Structure 1
Amino acid sequence: MKRFVVSCSALSALFITAAAVTAADDPVAVRKALMQSMAASAATSGAMLKGELDYNPVVAKAALATFNATAHAYGDYFPGGSETGGDTTAAPEIWKDPEGFQEALGKFQTDVAAALEASGKDGPADLAAFQQAVGPVLTNCRSCHEDFRVKNN
Structure 2
Amino acid sequence: MIRAAFVLAGLGLGLTAVTAQSNPIAERQQTMKGVGAATREGAAMAKGDAAFDAAKAQAIFKTYADAARKMPGLFPDSSKTGGETTAAAKIWEDQAGFKAAFAKFESDAAAGASVANLDGFRGAFGAATKNCGACHEVYRIKK
Report the TM-score range of the alignment, normalised by the length of the smaller protein: 0.7 to 0.9
Gaps of at least 5 residues in structure 1 are: 1-16
1:98 to 2:89 alignment? no
SS in 1 for 2:81: coil
Q: Which one has a larger percent helix, Structure 1 or Structure 2?
A: 2
**How far is 1:139 from its partner?**
0.6
| Cα RMSD (Å) | 1.8
For CA contacts below 8 A with separation 6 or more, give which structure has more relative contact order. Answer: 2
| CA distance in 1 between partners of 2:76 and 2:106 (Å) | 19
1:79 to 2:80 alignment? no
Same amino acid, percent of matched pairs: 39
Q: Is the 8 A contact 1:71 1:109 kept in 2?
A: yes
- 1:39-118 equivalent positions in 2, closer than 5 A: 39-116=36-113
Gaps of at least 5 residues in structure 2 are: 1-13
| CA distance in 1 between partners of 2:39 and 2:120 (Å) | 16
Q: Is the 8 A contact 2:58 2:112 kept in 1?
A: no
Indicate the residue corresponding to 2:135 in structure 1. 144
| CA distance in 2 between partners of 1:105 and 1:64 (Å) | 13
Task: Kindly provide the CA deviation profile for residues 86-142 of structure 1, in whole angstroms up to 9, marking residues without a partner as x.
Answer: 1101111101111211121221122222222xx1xxxx2221011122221111011
1:58 maps to amino acid: A
| CA distance in 1 between partners of 2:39 and 2:63 (Å) | 10
**How far is 1:33 from its partner?**
0.4
TM-score (norm 2): 0.84
Aligned length: 130
**How far is 1:79 from its partner?**
0.4
TM-score (norm 1): 0.79
Q: Is the 8 A contact 2:91 2:98 kept in 1?
A: yes
Q: Is the 8 A contact 1:90 1:150 kept in 2?
A: yes
